[in-house]
DNA sequence: TAGCATATGGAGCGTTGTTCCGTTTGTCAA
DNA sequence: TTGACAAACGGAACAACGCTCCATATGCTA
């Protein structure tokens, strides 16, 4: 019940000393291992499993991530970053509408991999409180850019808020069945066709 | 990783022998204690705390609720029942529109008390899988009855599905701030006014 | 009242998140 | 290259958890 940790996440301006080489290597290995373990065993997988898979001791894990939830949050942010980064890649290699379409599917698969995590997000753990903001702050501009390009090139015509679209798709993706991702893809196609002519999207969920 | 339990929940037709008096007393004490502990310490409170508050041993708790989640599920169902039962009470003591209004507020306060539980519901634990169905099966008829009465008496005029209304209000209630229940009440008033003239409700959530 | 199935309670087991500290290792000045 | 020290490591150990087990106690029926 004692929780007076600083929690400051090393802002970029801060620079006491550079991390040692083995430290960055291990941090990377931990994040990679955690991502895989979470995927196979769920977010509640024991930290020991993650440390073992990363080939480091538990002490090392806790040095970098003082609490279990910090590790979960870091993995989440990392995957958000990866998904967002792909928007630029896709935009560079495809025409606007195709880039938008491909990225939305990428976004759906991102959501699909976050099944167990969604429950943890609402668990009240303070380590997760900033994640929704991080989610929005990164995804909204990414989608906004893709949509703007497609609109400029005249391929789509809509005034829908990118964030509304992100939320709508997120709601679509909360299907209990695991392989219903194909169903989500089909609905997504409908949404994209909808974008071609403008309009709005409304959703409901319990 | 071993989970081959029967899980059959003693259907009403089954009647080997009546429970012993102390058994029913303890079961009731456990459910009451669990409800209170969950409210103050969250759904993740240790079972030992609950057993202590109920004044029984842990063995007794586990005899009635073989798994922690069974206790959580039972508390949930019990509170659903209580809320549903109140619909009939309110209908008997008030005119239809007032009964409907009062019950919807009661429903909001029910939702407000389920904050931590919402996260557990999506945790994938099989003990929780039947709860959404239980939720709907009990709440929908209750609200449908109240709405039908108010419609017959000409006080409201709408063709909205009771379940849609339940879901919409549930979405409204997922506010992070704890005392935002007043805000929810205000929106609820709007919804009720909306019922007076018919229409539909659409919601969105991340 | 006797007898027995039913119910009880809590020590104890295995697993978890987390701490602690003796040991190892990367880095940098000399 | 080497010495020295802060940084990083690893894992035994601790506390708290969910859950099991069984000797004991107790409510019911005959």
3-class SS string, A118-152: HHHHCCCCHHHCCHHHHHHHHHHHHHHHHHHHHHH
pLDDT at A15: 52
| Six token digits for residue B63 | 């005899």
pLDDT at B183: 82
Q: From the CA of B15, how many Å to the nearest CA of chain A?
A: 35
Query: Using alpha carbons only, what angle is made at residue A21 by residues A17 and A25, rounded to the nearest 5 degrees?
Result: 125
Task: Tell me whether residue B51 is in a domain.
Answer: yes
Give the closest nucleotide to B59 (alpha carbon vs C1'). Answer: C9
In this predicted structure, the answer to whether residue B59 has a pLDDT above a threshold of 90 is yes
Residue, of B161 and A138, whose pLDDT is higher = A138
In this predicted structure, the answer to whether residue A11 has a pLDDT above a threshold of 80 is no
Q: In which domain, by residue range, is A173 found?
A: 72-197
Asked whether residue B59 falls in the same domain as residue B81, the answer is no
Q: Are A117 and A62 in contact (CB under 8 A)?
A: no
A138-146: average pLDDT: 97
In this predicted structure, the answer to whether residue A124 has a pLDDT above a threshold of 90 is no
Q: How many residues does chain B have?
A: 206
**Short-list B146, B110, B44, CA closest to A123:** B44
Task: Tell me whether residue A148 is in a domain.
Answer: yes
Asked whether residue A129 falls in the same domain as residue A30, the answer is no
Task: Tell me whether residue A158 is in a domain.
Answer: yes
In the block, which residue shows the tokens 């668990």? Answer: A123
Average pLDDT over chain B, rounded to an integer: 86
pLDDT in tens, B65-92: 999 999 999 999 999 999 999 999 999 9
Q: Are A78 and A134 in contact (CB under 8 A)?
A: no
B145-157: average pLDDT: 94
pLDDT in tens, A164-199: 899 888 878 776 565 678 888 888 888 888 888 755
Which member of B121, B170, B204 has the closest CB to residue A203? B204
Predicted ipTM > 0.85: no
**Under 8 Å CB-to-CB from B82, ≥6 apart: which residues?**
none
- Residue A45 is part of a domain; what is its CATH number? 1.10.10.60
Asked whether residue B81 falls in the same domain as residue B154, the answer is yes
Asked whether residue A43 falls in the same domain as residue A136, the answer is no
Q: Are B202 and A204 in contact (CB under 8 A)?
A: yes
Q: Are B64 and B26 in contact (CB under 8 A)?
A: yes
Length A65 CA → C26 C1' (Å): 21
pLDDT at B124: 79
Between CA B164 and CA B194 the distance in angstroms is: 14
A203 phi and psi, to 5 degrees?
-135, 165
A119 touches chain B (CB under 8 A): yes
pLDDT at B3: 32
A1 touches chain B (CB under 8 A): no
- Residue B192 is part of a domain; what is its CATH number? 1.10.357.10
pLDDT at A121: 82
Q: Are A164 and A203 in contact (CB under 8 A)?
A: no
A175 phi and psi, to 5 degrees?
-90, 140
**Short-list A150, A46, A170, A198, CA closest to B205:** A170
Average pLDDT over chain A, rounded to an integer: 86
**Element containing residue A31 per DSSP (H, E):** helix A21-41
Which residues of the protein have their beta carbon within 7 Å of strand C?
A 18, 20-22, 44-48, 58-59, 62, 66-69; B 16-17, 19-20, 22-23, 25-26, 55-60, 62-64
Task: Tell me whether residue B202 is in a domain.
Answer: no
pLDDT at A194: 86
pLDDT at B194: 87
Task: Tell me whether residue B139 is in a domain.
Answer: yes
pLDDT at B153: 94
In this predicted structure, the answer to whether residue B40 has a pLDDT above a threshold of 60 is yes
A202 and B205: CB-CB below 8 Å? no
Which residues of the protein have their beta carbon within 7 Å of strand D?
A 16-17, 19-20, 22-23, 25-26, 55-60, 62-64; B 17-18, 20-22, 44-48, 58-59, 62, 66-69
pLDDT above 90: percentage of residues in chain A: 61
Give the number of domains in chain B: 2
With b for 16 or more beta-carbon neighbours within 10 A and e for fewer, the B26-36 pattern comes to bbebbbebbbe
Asked whether residue B101 falls in the same domain as residue B189, the answer is yes
Between CA B170 and CA B65 the distance in angstroms is: 28
Asked whether residue B99 falls in the same domain as residue B113, the answer is yes
pLDDT band at residue B146 under the 50/70/90 scheme: very high
Length B6 CA → D18 C1' (Å): 19
In this predicted structure, the answer to whether residue B127 has a pLDDT above a threshold of 70 is yes
A14 touches chain B (CB under 8 A): no
pLDDT band at residue A117 under the 50/70/90 scheme: confident
pLDDT at B113: 86
Q: Are A56 and A26 in contact (CB under 8 A)?
A: yes
Task: Tell me whether residue A3 is in a domain.
Answer: no
A167 touches chain B (CB under 8 A): yes
Length B1 CA → C12 C1' (Å): 21
Among the residue ranges A29-33, A50-54, A62-66, B2-6, the one predicted with the least confidence is B2-6
pLDDT at A177: 60
pLDDT band at residue B177 under the 50/70/90 scheme: low
């Amino acid at each position: 019940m004692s929780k007076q940790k600083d929690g400051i996440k090393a802002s970029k301006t801060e620079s006491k000393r550079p991390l040692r080489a083995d430290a960055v290597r291990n941090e990377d290995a931990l994040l990679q291992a955690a991502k895989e373990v979470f995927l196979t065993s769920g977010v509640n997988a024991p930290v020991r499993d993650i440390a073992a898979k990363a080939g480091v001791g538990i002490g090392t894990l806790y040095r970098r991530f003082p609490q279990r939830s910090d590790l979960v949050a870091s993995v989440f942010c990392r995957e958000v970053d990866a998904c967002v980064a792909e928007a630029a890649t896709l935009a560079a290699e495809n025409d606007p509408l195709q880039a938008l379409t491909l990225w939305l599917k990428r976004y759906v698969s991102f959501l699909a991999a976050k099944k167990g995590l969604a429950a943890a997000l609402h668990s009240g753990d303070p380590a997760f409180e900033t994640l929704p903001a991080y989610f929005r702050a990164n995804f909204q501009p990414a989608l906004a850019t893709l949509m703007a390009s497609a609109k400029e090139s005249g391929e789509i015509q809509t005034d829908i808020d990118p964030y509304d679209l992100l939320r709508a798709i997120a709601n679509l993706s909360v299907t209990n069945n695991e392989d219903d991702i194909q169903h989500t893809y089909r609905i997504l196609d409908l949404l994209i066709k909808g974008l071609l002519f403008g309009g709005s999207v409304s959703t409901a969920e319990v």
